[in-house]
A and B are shown apart, each in its own frame.
Chain A
Amino acid sequence: MSAVIEQRTERPAKAVSAVVVAGLRRERWYRQPRLRRLGALLAAGLLLAVMTGEQGNGKDLLYSLRGTLASGRLWVCLGLGVVAWVLAETGAPLRAAAVRLLAPVTAPIARGGELAVRRRGVRVTAALVGLALAVFVPLALSRATNQVLVDWVGIYILLALGLNVVIGWAGLLDLGFVAFFAIGGYSAAFWTGHLPVKPPFELNPFLVIPVAMATCLIAGVLLGGPTLRLRGDYLAIVTLGFHEIIYLVAKNSDGLTNGSLGVFGIPHFSVGLGPVQYRWKLDPLDYWWLLLGLIVLAVLVLRRLEHSKVGRTWAAIREDEVAAAAHGVDTVKYKLMAFAIGASTSGAAGVVYASKVGFINPENFPLLYSVLVLAYVIFGGMGSIPGVLLGAGLLAWLPHALKDVVDQKDRFMYMGALLVVMMIYRPQGLLPARRRRRGEPTPARSSVQTGDAQ
């Protein structure tokens, strides 16, 4: 814009144009960085005032804002903003002094972090300590808390691990991921004989896991076969459609899935091998350990894949599909593989969920959950297993951690705000993957069919 104006003003007398150009170049007073920062902090103060104020009212949208404007709290919050601004603008020497004072403490921590990333022993120890905590800490927690650990944290970590293969490694944007979760859940219902259609023989939920994984694998291949030739954004729409199909079939085909009534009485897991007799019951702890076992298994397998030919080839496809194909990579085959592996992980999670809860209906598998899992993966760090574990664990936990702190209805709003802030300041995620470029969360850029190989 200003470039155009400058060009136009070059025509008339040189002296006049010089003045005009100088005028255009000068920053407007309100554009000064300092004042802009003040503005931002005042806005943050206002936000804080509204957030700490009275709960809103659905019928009167500005109710909460009006209440805030009339209260004295507003001035306190704005004052805080101004104080923060003054500190930020004049505090440089103070900050430098603080950094110098704290250096002996922070430097070793930073160095330790770097060492940890490099040394295998450190990584293994960290993983084992994390695992031990995950095994034993829930013993000391309340039953309600453990319930959350299973229904949200455990299940979602498993889902996120699966989606990470698809989006983090192969770079395919899959928005219908939860459809495979649903297929897993309904597989559990089918093979234990609780759907209107009966299976040829009934299976223990443990045996349903591999069967459901195979089913999801096939479903993934059937969906992916014709569609994985599409470029990233088109693929996303196709997977969206796939989710809708699965959801509507579950909801409407009463004779097959019992429709929106759902399925009841899916049995719990049980083992009955001679002397080893055990039944999982309603106790969430049992299920937590079961999930933990599955997660550990998934991590071990996926880690192997990541650091193998398969993982490297996925990364190559994600980086440049045209170049990968030019070097003999059957790109469709590898994309299908990622899709199928992700789908079967999701299917396993579906079986555990259905068996734990005992009843499922189509509303357990809304599109929102696909989006949530995607958000967890991106938040943790696409393509990084520790990142995904941490990200999914934290975010799945967050709404419940906030339950007693903020108003019930607002919980997900805070999660939304956290995601926004995170994407602005740390788009690569909590623990980013080494094999990804900084802040580039894009799926595969081009496909062999459309990209011209220059």
Chain B
Amino acid sequence: MTTTTTATGTDEVVLEASRVTLRFGGLTSLSEVSLRMRRGEVLAVIGPNGAGKTSLFNSLTGFYHPQEGRVTLRDESGATHELIGRKPHSVNRLGVARTFQNIRLFGALTALENVKVAAETRERSGPLGIALGLPHTRRADRASGERAEQLLEFVGLAARRYERAGSLSYGDQRRLEIARALATGPRVLLLDEPAAGTNPTEKLELTALIRRINRELGVGVLLIEHDMRLVMSVADRVAVLNFGRVIAEGTPAEIQRDPAVVEAYLGAEAAQPDPEEVER
């Protein structure tokens, strides 16, 4: 595991979205969203259900194609790449990795294989070399296997490496998704509600893990999370999304005091019918 610190340091802007607008027919799920994230920071995106957080992730990773705006990624050499219009796999190859809100592991593969598949997308070996058993394909295979083992160790799943991903506990599956995303060697990691469905102990471990990903691996983290305690303890900056717009941005302390944010959350809560009301 190497800690890469480039000459530009951790303050460089790695990912920038400017005035991104995404529409589905008449529904505007993102309107003029602008975000800047630096390599050395954990940026959290919060907002009520349906605010457009996942849509933002999908727009950043090539799954959705926003009608307007730009998303640029700065690579190691300092060159910038436009991400909108690229296919998901090519966005990932530029250095953006993600996890999914509804866990999407390769259920029938083992934990190790899940991570290895992701690590191997960077190997050059092709079917012919493999069929002939060329030495460089064997080396590549061993290298990605070792890398996968290290990453499982890093997220604390080394003991579960030969278990089928589909049979792991919820918390372990979330961590495996993170290890798999890290295996592609990203500059930016997008985590979509990594704490959803995990217990308090696992939440604490996750907080520590996110910090280590940011500090030790030097990977910028963009985090969607509903658990405010986790967000406030791990995020350097927070952006608040409501109805597809960024309504506030700042440090966790600033965000907690922001009247617009309080309003958005209270408004969302007031709009939601009281569950007991429905029963009666």
Which residues of B are found within 8 Å of A437, using beta-carbon distances? 107-108, 166
* A316 in contact with B109 given A305-B130, A328-B89, A328-B184 (CB within 8 Å): yes
A328-B89, A448-B88 known; A337 and B109 CB under 8 Å? Answer: no
Q: Give 10 CB contacts A-B under 8 Å.
A: A309-B141, A310-B130, A316-B117, A319-B108, A322-B63, A326-B88, A328-B184, A329-B89, A435-B108, A454-B101
B120, A312: Cβ atoms under 8 Å? Answer: yes
Do A341 and B127 contact each other (CB < 8 Å), given the known contacts A316-B109, A436-B108, A448-B63? yes
Interface residues of B in 43-67 (CB under 8 A from A): 54, 57-58, 61, 63
Are A301 and B131 in contact (CB-based, < 8 A)?
Answer: yes
Is B139 an interface residue when CB atoms closer than 8 A count as contact? no
The CA of A127 and the CA of B63, in the complex, are separated in Å by 45
Contacts across chains A and B counted by CB atoms under 8 Å:
119
A330 with B89, Cβ < 8 A, contacts A309-B130, A323-B100 known: yes
**Given A309-B117, A448-B63: 7 more A-B contacts, CB < 8 Å:** A310-B127, A319-B106, A320-B107, A323-B106, A326-B63, A327-B118, A327-B184
Within B121-148, the residues touching A (CB, 8 Å) are 121-123, 125-127, 130-131, 133, 137, 140-141, 144
Residues of B within 8 A of A452 (CB): 58, 63
Residue from A313, A326, A436 within 8 A of B98 (CB atoms)? A326
Nearest Cβ in chain B — how far from A116, in angstroms?
Answer: 19
Do the beta carbons of B107 and A325 come within 8 Å of each other?
A: no
B: residues with CB less than 8 A from A are: 54, 57-58, 61, 63, 87-89, 92-93, 97-98, 100-102, 104-109, 113-114, 116-118, 120-123, 125-127, 130-131, 133, 137, 140-141, 144, 166, 180-181, 183-184
The answer to whether B121 touches A328 (Cβ under 8 A) is yes
Residue among A320, A322, A328, A341 having the largest count of chain B Cβ atoms under 10 Å = A328
Docked Cα-Cα span, A330 to B63, in Å, equals 14
Question: In chain A between 326 and 370, which residues have their CB closer than 8 angstroms to a CB of chain B?
Answer: 326-331, 337, 341
Assuming the contacts A309-B123, A312-B109, A315-B109, asked whether A328 and B137 have C-beta atoms less than 8 A apart, the reply is no
In the complex the two chains form, is A454's CB within 8 Å of B100's CB? yes
Q: Which residue of A lies closest to B114 (CB)?
A: A316
Does the CB pair A323–B184 fall under 8 Å? Answer: no
Q: Closest Cβ of chain A: how far from B54's Cβ, in Å?
A: 6
Does A419 have its Cβ within 8 Å of any Cβ on chain B? no
Q: Is the CB of A326 within 8 A of B140?
A: no
Residues from chain B with a CB closer than 8 A to the CB of A326 are 61, 63, 88-89, 92, 97-98, 100, 104
What's the least CB distance linking B126 to chain A, in Å? 8
Tell me the smallest distance from the CB of A441 to a CB of chain B, in Å: 12
